[in-house]
Chains A and B, each alone.
Chain A
Amino acid sequence: MKNNNLKLITTVTIIVMLVVSACKPKNIGNAVSADAAAKAYVAPGKYDAFYNFVSGGFSGQMSVYGLPSGRLLRVIPVFSVDPEKGWGYSEETKPMLNTSHGFVPWDDLHHTEMSQTNGEIDGRWIFGNANNTPRVARIDLKTFRTAEIIELPNSAGNHSSPFITENTEYVVAGTRFSVPSDNSNGDVPINTFKQNFKGYLSFISVGKEDGKMDIAFQIECPGVSFDLSHSGKGKSHGWFFFSCYNTEQANTLLEVNASQKDKDFIMAVNWKKAEEYLKAGKGKKVPVKYAHNTYSDKTHSATSEIKTEVTVLSAKELKDICYFIPCPKSPHGCDVDPTGEYIVGSGKLAALIPVFSFDKLQKAIAAKDFAGDFDGIPVVKYESALYGEVKKPGLGPLHTEFDGNGNAYTSFFVSSEVVKWNIKDLKVVDRVPTYYSVGHLCVPGGDSKKPSPKYLIAYNKITKDRYLPTGPELSQSAQLYDISGDKMQLILDFPTIGEPHYAQAVPAEVIKNNSLKIFKIDENANTYVAKGEGATKVVREGNKVHIYMTAIRSHLTPDNIEGIKIGDEVYFHVTNLEQDWDVPHGFAIKGASNGELLIMPGETQTLKWIPTKVAIYPMYCTDFCSALHQEMQGYIRVSPAGSSVPITFSTGTNKPAATPEKTN
């Protein structure tokens, strides 16, 4: 009897355990269907269909991937030094990282945005923002190099950037941390936020032909945190939309104190109106200090200029530039659909997605349908601007991209998923999980007037068990979904550099044919160029020694240098004489306290070297250039200070000295 009971209990327990474990949701491994590999496969030697420009987050750089393969094509150094490429180490590139605070070797690049013409990606430039020391960079997509960096005064934490208007008239920047203006006394108690702290938006004009950036004007706004932004397009061209949090104006424990209000704002900015005021002379010229750095592909060097003035328009005084639209729960993403009619706000803590109508907003503004004002800025009534809400889409909406076919795709950090919904009827159409906790997402052209909706890429913050473990520090990841069908389908998952935030993707054709192969040596206007081995020389100017050196397969000229002394500052100006595609030369010297040089064909780059010990120093080419790359090496003799060894230099002519005869 007892035995039977025991048997029964055991059987029931086993059955219950089986049933319960069967109820556990299926593992994520099953979410990938069989044809995924074929969809993401790009055969060796074949090109990807899309370029994907991904922000590097705390790496400060921008990475370029091919889609659908997920192959890493290049990492473009932008705001952080890169000893591998000499970026920030060569004398030519150092000025690019100059700021009003001096040389800043690192930053945090969050968002990328490509230049547009008529609301479509034109493939000329891509912009990136520096979130720490506020700056905007422009990368030239002929060379895939950073061509220009402009610093932003009156700002702290440029997060809502570098979003652009539909003809790249402006690239914007905002301030994530409101601070007292640069021109005012900054030495105030931190808890005087409400009295002293302001939020500034910068409108940077972009030269139509050369892309040159210039701060056209700033708008002084109430002290809040500007988070993200997107420009209007089509009918809403002329307007810009910024999400704002911390309208509580808290200065401490923002996690709690900036989450008090049920609604914060999206700020609508009528920048055409701002232009009118600027023309009418309503701007105040304010003394500030900011760096403007440009790189020339002719001189192969950067120049840094410190500018001292900016024009500021006051949103409070000039009443009809800025309007606040209430938006639930600390909005983050602020995205405008391809028609320009719908503005999607994503409250980080909300369980719904509000969609605002540009037409309704215009009517409400015209009718002065305001709920009041915030620090002198009119607040439009929520219902008067609202088109509708997507109900129960998920938890923690962050960002939205569009496919141009009437659908929106929103990322959800908390519920770790991408949700596809229909803009017209605000109904959820499909949802897919992400692994794990997606931040930004990207559809090629997904924030332009003309998306190419073949893929969607989710950029995830957490990877945990997704890849082989690599100690406590794990990579972030990108996940590629095919969205060409009704259902989103996960087809690939790949690790990324740094932390990917926003990204842009574009059909390869828009970019690949403009890609430069070499720099023409005849056009090299570097002060220290040697346009041939005959032009190489070593010139002493006091304790500065300039070495005009050339590199060609497979020797450096000169490769034997004597007459350098302790106390000298030596400048290696290395010109790569090659005029052939994909033949860079590198240059490194023992004991150099900076980095190496990587010199592209036709280019001149300079490495500064201060020898500290009397010795013979080797130098060599670091980039495997040819069969005799390993032979591409030379020596420098460093003599004591005050030595009388004369400067001599040569390649191939310094014959072995005769061995002295023995005298015994």
Chain B
Amino acid sequence: MQHNKINIWIRIGIAVCGVALFAVQFVPIWRIDLDAPQYPEGLRLLIYANKLGGDFDIINGLNHYIGMKTLHANDFIEFTVLPYIIGFFALLFIIVAAVGNKKFMYVLLGLFAAFGILAMVDFWRWEYNYGHNLDPKAAIIVPGMAYQPPLIGYKQLLNFGAYSIPDIGGWIFIAVGILLLIFVIIEIRLNSKIKNLFQCLQ
């Protein structure tokens, strides 16, 4: 009957992950750093669970030259939904830790990984739309040029270099995902060890 229960230390670990996910609500998840000859100090777009931060007003001002839509948090359903999803996951982590059922943990890993992939796909789609849906009356039109920022990493867009990387919240997400994966692997190994032990006893 014990083998369906998660190791106590791992349960504590999962609980800590849940608490960490709550914290993601308050820190930026992603950031896009921009620099240009006119902006040696750099511009930074911060993406929070529920809003945009950093220099997005200035970036909006500049983007009108290439006909990019201005960024407004209200235009994104994501900023309404994301806090709930994160809250849901935080709660789920804590429930799994409390119940301690291994199967729940495997399901949690599956859900979390699916969410991670979905989120990145959504982010890419978001970047694609902004980078491609340009006003045909824009002042600057470079044939064949799109302004989609990189999903992750560096890309030169006209005079701007764009560098897209996770911020604190994103790193927490990644860390939580990796930890959960490690927990699952440990559990599976423990499981097979116990099985082996039983087999030896028989």
Chain B residues closer than 8 Å to A628, beta-carbon distance: 65, 139
A553 within 8 A of B: yes
A581 within 8 A of B: yes
A627 within 8 A of B: yes
Q: Which of A550-592 contact B (CB under 8 A)?
A: 552-554, 578-581
- Cα distance, A230 to B139, chains bound together (Å): 60
Question: Distance in Å from the Cβ of A43 to the closest Cβ of chain B?
Answer: 15
> Knowing A627-B140, A628-B139 touch, does A578 contact B61 (C-beta < 8 A)?
yes
- Cα distance, A631 to B139, chains bound together (Å): 10
Chain A residues closer than 8 Å to B75, beta-carbon distance: none
Chain A residues closer than 8 Å to B57, beta-carbon distance: 579
Question: Distance in Å from the Cβ of A23 to the closest Cβ of chain B?
Answer: 57
Find out whether the CB atom of B65 lies under 8 angstroms from the CB atom of A627.
yes
- Cα distance, A456 to B61, chains bound together (Å): 46
- Cα distance, A554 to B61, chains bound together (Å): 10
Find out whether the CB atom of B41 lies under 8 angstroms from the CB atom of A580.
no
B58 within 8 A of A: yes
Chain A residues closer than 8 Å to B62, beta-carbon distance: 553
Count how many pairs of residues, one from A and one from B, have CB atoms less than 8 Å apart in the complex.
18
Q: Whose C-beta in chain B lies nearest to the C-beta of A517?
A: B41
Question: Distance in Å from the Cβ of A586 to the closest Cβ of chain B?
Answer: 18
Find out whether the CB atom of A553 lies under 8 angstroms from the CB atom of B61.
yes
Find out whether the CB atom of A580 lies under 8 angstroms from the CB atom of B61.
yes
Q: Which of B52-81 contact A (CB under 8 A)?
A: 55, 57-58, 61-62, 65
Chain A 578-608: CB-based contact to B (< 8 A → 1; otherwise 0): 1111000000000000000000000000000
Chain A residues closer than 8 Å to B58, beta-carbon distance: 579-580
- Cα distance, A553 to B202, chains bound together (Å): 81
Question: Distance in Å from the Cβ of A427 to the closest Cβ of chain B?
Answer: 51
Contact of A552 among B41, B61, B139 (CB under 8 A): B61
- Cα distance, A562 to B181, chains bound together (Å): 69
- Cα distance, A579 to B61, chains bound together (Å): 10
Chain A residues closer than 8 Å to B41, beta-carbon distance: 581
- Cα distance, A579 to B56, chains bound together (Å): 11
Chain B 32-62: CB-based contact to A (< 8 A → 1; otherwise 0): 0000000001000000000000010110011
Question: Distance in Å from the Cβ of B139 to the closest Cβ of chain A?
Answer: 6
Chain B residues closer than 8 Å to A580, beta-carbon distance: 55, 58, 61
- Cα distance, A580 to B39, chains bound together (Å): 10
- Cα distance, A626 to B140, chains bound together (Å): 12
Q: Whose C-beta in chain B lies nearest to the C-beta of A577?
A: B61
Chain B residues closer than 8 Å to A631, beta-carbon distance: 139
Q: Whose C-beta in chain B lies nearest to the C-beta of A628?
A: B139
Chain A residues closer than 8 Å to B55, beta-carbon distance: 580
Q: Whose C-beta in chain A lies nearest to the C-beta of B139?
A: A628
- Cα distance, A628 to B62, chains bound together (Å): 11
Chain A residues closer than 8 Å to B61, beta-carbon distance: 552-553, 578, 580
- Cα distance, A580 to B61, chains bound together (Å): 10
Chain B residues closer than 8 Å to A552, beta-carbon distance: 61
Question: Distance in Å from the Cβ of B58 to the closest Cβ of chain A?
Answer: 5
Q: Which of A620-650 contact B (CB under 8 A)?
A: 626-628, 631
Chain B 138-159: CB-based contact to A (< 8 A → 1; otherwise 0): 0110000000000000000000
Question: Distance in Å from the Cβ of A319 to the closest Cβ of chain B?
Answer: 61
- Cα distance, A553 to B57, chains bound together (Å): 13
Chain B residues closer than 8 Å to A553, beta-carbon distance: 61-62
Question: Distance in Å from the Cβ of B147 to the closest Cβ of chain A?
Answer: 15
Q: Which of A516-562 contact B (CB under 8 A)?
A: 552-554
Question: Distance in Å from the Cβ of B20 to the closest Cβ of chain A?
Answer: 34
Question: Distance in Å from the Cβ of B41 to the closest Cβ of chain A?
Answer: 7
Chain B residues closer than 8 Å to A579, beta-carbon distance: 57-58
Question: Distance in Å from the Cβ of A521 to the closest Cβ of chain B?
Answer: 10
Question: Distance in Å from the Cβ of A577 to the closest Cβ of chain B?
Answer: 9
- Cα distance, A579 to B62, chains bound together (Å): 12
Question: Distance in Å from the Cβ of B137 to the closest Cβ of chain A?
Answer: 10
Chain A 219-253: CB-based contact to B (< 8 A → 1; otherwise 0): 00000000000000000000000000000000000
Question: Distance in Å from the Cβ of A524 to the closest Cβ of chain B?
Answer: 15
- Cα distance, A627 to B158, chains bound together (Å): 13
Q: Which of B63-114 contact A (CB under 8 A)?
A: 65
- Cα distance, A551 to B51, chains bound together (Å): 27
Chain A residues closer than 8 Å to B139, beta-carbon distance: 554, 627-628, 631
Chain B residues closer than 8 Å to A554, beta-carbon distance: 139
Q: Whose C-beta in chain A lies nearest to the C-beta of B57?
A: A579
- Cα distance, A582 to B53, chains bound together (Å): 21
Question: Distance in Å from the Cβ of B135 to the closest Cβ of chain A?
Answer: 13
- Cα distance, A554 to B140, chains bound together (Å): 13
- Cα distance, A361 to B2, chains bound together (Å): 97
Chain A residues closer than 8 Å to B65, beta-carbon distance: 626-628
Question: Distance in Å from the Cβ of A523 to the closest Cβ of chain B?
Answer: 16
Question: Distance in Å from the Cβ of A575 to the closest Cβ of chain B?
Answer: 15
Q: Which of B55, B57, B61, B62 has the most CB of A within 10 A?
A: B61
Q: Whose C-beta in chain A lies nearest to the C-beta of B58?
A: A580
Question: Distance in Å from the Cβ of B55 to the closest Cβ of chain A?
Answer: 8
Q: Whose C-beta in chain A lies nearest to the C-beta of B55?
A: A580
Chain B residues closer than 8 Å to A626, beta-carbon distance: 65
Question: Distance in Å from the Cβ of A493 to the closest Cβ of chain B?
Answer: 31
- Cα distance, A352 to B61, chains bound together (Å): 66
Chain B residues closer than 8 Å to A581, beta-carbon distance: 41
- Cα distance, A628 to B140, chains bound together (Å): 10
Question: Distance in Å from the Cβ of B121 to the closest Cβ of chain A?
Answer: 33
Q: Which of B173-201 contact A (CB under 8 A)?
A: none
Question: Distance in Å from the Cβ of B191 to the closest Cβ of chain A?
Answer: 58
- Cα distance, A452 to B140, chains bound together (Å): 52
- Cα distance, A331 to B41, chains bound together (Å): 51
Q: Whose C-beta in chain B lies nearest to the C-beta of A582?
A: B38
Question: Distance in Å from the Cβ of B173 to the closest Cβ of chain A?
Answer: 31
- Cα distance, A246 to B27, chains bound together (Å): 72
Question: Distance in Å from the Cβ of A628 to the closest Cβ of chain B?
Answer: 6
- Cα distance, A271 to B61, chains bound together (Å): 56
Question: Distance in Å from the Cβ of B138 to the closest Cβ of chain A?
Answer: 11
- Cα distance, A172 to B173, chains bound together (Å): 63
Chain A 138-175: CB-based contact to B (< 8 A → 1; otherwise 0): 00000000000000000000000000000000000000
Chain B residues closer than 8 Å to A627, beta-carbon distance: 65, 139-140
Question: Distance in Å from the Cβ of A45 to the closest Cβ of chain B?
Answer: 9
- Cα distance, A580 to B140, chains bound together (Å): 21
Q: Whose C-beta in chain B lies nearest to the C-beta of A579?
A: B57
- Cα distance, A627 to B140, chains bound together (Å): 10
- Cα distance, A626 to B41, chains bound together (Å): 17
Question: Distance in Å from the Cβ of B192 to the closest Cβ of chain A?
Answer: 60
Q: Whose C-beta in chain B lies nearest to the C-beta of A627?
A: B65
- Cα distance, A627 to B61, chains bound together (Å): 13
- Cα distance, A578 to B57, chains bound together (Å): 9
- Cα distance, A626 to B64, chains bound together (Å): 12
Q: Whose C-beta in chain B lies nearest to the C-beta of A581?
A: B41
Q: Which of A322-361 contact B (CB under 8 A)?
A: none
Question: Distance in Å from the Cβ of B35 to the closest Cβ of chain A?
Answer: 14
Q: Whose C-beta in chain B lies nearest to the C-beta of A580?
A: B58
Question: Distance in Å from the Cβ of B53 to the closest Cβ of chain A?
Answer: 14
- Cα distance, A552 to B140, chains bound together (Å): 17
Q: Whose C-beta in chain A lies nearest to the C-beta of B140?
A: A627
Question: Distance in Å from the Cβ of B39 to the closest Cβ of chain A?
Answer: 9
Q: Rank and list the top 9 A-B pairs by shortest CB-CB distance, nearest first.
A: A580-B58, A628-B139, A579-B57, A553-B61, A552-B61, A627-B65, A579-B58, A628-B65, A580-B61
Interface residues of A (CB under 8 A from B): 552-554, 578-581, 626-628, 631
The 15 sampled A-B contact pairs (Cβ below 8 Å) are A552-B61, A553-B61, A553-B62, A554-B139, A578-B61, A579-B57, A579-B58, A580-B55, A580-B58, A580-B61, A626-B65, A627-B65, A627-B139, A628-B65, A631-B139
**Known interface pairs A552-B61, A554-B139; 4 further A-B residue pairs with C-beta atoms within 8 A, sorted by A's residue number:** A580-B55, A627-B139, A627-B140, A628-B65
Interface residues of B (CB under 8 A from A): 41, 55, 57-58, 61-62, 65, 139-140
